[in-house]
Amino acid sequence: MTTVEMIKVYINHLCTQIGVTPESVYSEEFKSWSFSKGASSIEVFFTSYETSSKTIRTFIRCFSAIYPIPPEAQKQLDLYRVAMESNIHYMGVKIGTIPNKAFLYAVAERDIEGMDYDEFVTLISDLGYWAERLSGELRAKLGTPQTNLN
């Protein structure tokens, strides 16, 4: 059985591999870790829920901002149309928004049950790759956004 504590060991190991301390990438406020992969910033956190059979499932979730949501209604519609069209083509990553945040995100998630270190690293690496690719595709189709992703 894979536990949250085991995944935290994976996070610590990844931090050691990339030359940062776990404390330097952890946000107590958001209960998340932030990593960089190329131009992408990836937020990693846990989400748990109770199933209908009263067991708890825990997922590791990774988000990366890929494009700011424009304030103009027509530009939003264009962005959402392109995002939904893109969503159908890419496996292992989805595109979504977070309430009260003005960005479109690439999202990857996985139940932690059975996850090993290589799968953990692959999840983060793949999201970094797809975030950069999707951001580039959105920019190519919709133009450079008026605000920075930072």
Coil, strand, or helix at residue 134? helix
For 28-61, the pLDDT digits (tens) are 999 999 998 777 899 999 999 999 999 999 999 9
pLDDT the model gives residue 37: 75
- pLDDT tens for 56-81 read 999 999 999 999 999 999 999 999 99
Residue spans of beta strands (DSSP E) within 22-142 = 26-27, 32-37, 40-50, 56-68, 94-97, 103-111
pTM of the model: 0.87
